[in-house]
Amino acid sequence: MKLDSKIPSGPLGQKWDKHKFDLKLISPANKRKFEVIVVGSGLAGGSAAATLAELGYSVKSFCYQDSPRRAHSIAAQGGINAAKNYQNDGDSVQRLFYDTIKGGDFRAREANVHRLAQVSVSIIDQCVAQGVPFAREYGGLLDNRSFGGAQVSRTFYARGQTGQQLMLGAYQALSRQIGLGTVKMYPRTEMLDLVVVDGHAKGIVVRDMVTGEISSHAADAVVLATGGYGPVFYLSTNAVGCNVTGTFRAFKKGAAFANPCYTQIHPTCIPVSGDHQSKLTLMSESLRNDGRVWVPKRKEDCAKSPGSIAEADRDYILERKYPSFGNLAPRDISSRAAKEVCDEGRGVGPGGLGVYLDFNDAIHRLGAAKIRERYGNLFDMYERITGENAYQQPMRIYPAVHYTMGGLWVDYNLMSNLPGLFVLGEANFSDHGANRLGASALMQGLADGYFILPYTIGHYFASSKQTRPKADDAEFRKVEEEVAARTKRLLSIKGKKTPRAFHRELGKLMWENCGMARSKASLELNLKRIPELREEFWNSVNVAGEAGDLNQTLEHAGRVADFLEFGELLCLDALTREESAGGHFRVEHQEEGECKRDDENFAHVAAWEFQGEGKAPLRHTEPLVYEEVHMSTRSYK
With CB under 8 A as the contact rule, the residue among 168, 258, 483, 561 that binds other proteins is 168
- Shortest spacing between CB 498 and other proteins, in angstroms: 5
Selected binder of other proteins within 17, 89, 512, 549 (CB under 8 A):
549
Candidate residues 22, 66, 213, 361; the one interacting with other proteins per rule CB under 8 A: 66
Q: Could you say whether residue 75 binds other proteins (CB under 8 A)?
A: yes
From the list 174, 207, 149, the residue with the least C-alpha distance to 67 is: 174
Rounded CA separation 147/172 (Å): 27
634: helix, strand or coil = coil
Q: From the list 15, 19, 72, 459, which residue makes contact with other proteins (rule: CB under 8 A)?
A: 72
Of the residues 219, 244, 282, 295, which one makes contact with other proteins according to CB under 8 A: 282
Who's near 614: CB < 8 A, 6+ residues apart? none
List, edge to edge, every strand of the sheet that includes 618-623: 407-408, 257-258, 604-609, 618-623
Using CB under 8 A as the binding criterion, the count of chain residues that bind other proteins stands at 83
* Window contacting other proteins (CB under 8 A); options: 247-255, 321-329, 549-557, 581-589: 549-557
Counting contacts by CB under 8 A, is residue 129 touching other proteins? yes
Nearer to other proteins, 457 or 574 (CB): 457
Q: Which is nearer to other proteins, 279 or 477 (CB)?
A: 279
Beta strand ranges found along 280-420 (DSSP E) = 292-296, 314-315, 355-358, 395-404, 407-408
Of residues 251, 581, 600, the one with CA closest to residue 436 = 581
Write out 378-411 in H/E/C secondary structure: HHHHHHHHHCCCCCCCCEEEEEEEEEECCEECCC
Per CB under 8 A, which of residues 499..538 are in contact with other proteins? 500-501
User: For residue 439, which of 199, 91, 69 has the smallest C-alpha distance?
Assistant: 91
* Part of the chain binding other proteins (CB under 8 A), chosen from 31-39, 171-179, 287-295, 364-372: 171-179
In whole angstroms, the minimum distance from the beta carbon of 475 to other proteins comes to 32
By C-alpha distance, which of 491, 484, 496 is closest to 536? 496
Task: Enumerate residues 365-404 that contact other proteins by CB under 8 A.
Answer: 380-381, 384-385, 387
Cβ neighbours around 553 below 10 Å, total:
17
CA distance 453 to 64: 22
From the list 58, 165, 216, 416, which residue makes contact with other proteins (rule: CB under 8 A)?
A: 165
Instruction: Give the closest residue to 339 by CA, choosing from 267, 278, 426.
Output: 267
Among positions 164, 327, 428, 440, the unique one binding other proteins when judged by CB under 8 A: 164
* Least distance (Å) between residue 256 CB and other proteins: 29
Q: Is 74 in the site for other proteins (CB under 8 A)?
A: yes
Of 76 and 218, which CB lies nearer to other proteins in the complex structure? 76
- Going by C-beta distance under 8 Å and a sequence separation of 6 or more, which residues neighbour residue 311? none
Phi and psi angles of residue 326, each rounded to the nearest 5 degrees, phi first: 55, -130
The interface with other proteins within residues 550-609 (CB under 8 A) comprises 550, 552-553
The catalytic residue among 145, 288, 331, 534 is: 331
175 binds other proteins (CB under 8 A): yes
Q: Which of 161, 36, 152 is nearest to 92 (CA)?
A: 152
Helix (H, G, I), strand (E, B) or coil at 337: helix
Q: What angle do CA 385, 391, 395 make, to 5 degrees?
A: 50
Per CB under 8 A, 187 contacts other proteins: yes
241 binds other proteins (CB under 8 A): yes
Stretch touching other proteins by CB under 8 A, among 61-69, 222-230, 306-314, 597-605: 61-69
Q: Is residue 487 within the footprint of other proteins (CB under 8 A)?
A: no
Cβ within 8 Å of residue 443, ≥6 positions away: 80, 81, 82, 116, 120, 123
Please choose, out of 245-253, 274-282, 528-536, 618-626, the segment that lies near other proteins by the rule CB under 8 A: 274-282
Please state the closest distance from residue 513 (CB atom) to other proteins, in A: 25
Nearest CA to 634 among 10, 57, 98? 98
Site for other proteins in 196-225 (CB under 8 A): 210
- Of 307-366, which residues contact other proteins (CB under 8 A)? none
Would you count residue 134 as binding other proteins (CB under 8 A)? yes
Q: Report 426-465 residues binding other proteins (CB under 8 A).
A: 450-451, 454
Residue of 28, 179, 612, 623 that binds other proteins (CB under 8 A): 179
Could you tell me if 75 and 49 are in contact, meaning their C-beta atoms sit under 8 angstroms apart?
Answer: no
Which span (64-72, 97-105, 214-222, 425-433) binds other proteins, by CB under 8 A? Answer: 64-72
| CB nearer other proteins, residue 134 or residue 460 | 134
Q: Is 619 annotated in the active site?
A: no
Contact between 493 and other proteins (CB under 8 A)?
no
Nearest-angstrom CA–CA distance, 238 and 567: 16
Catalytic residue annotation? 331
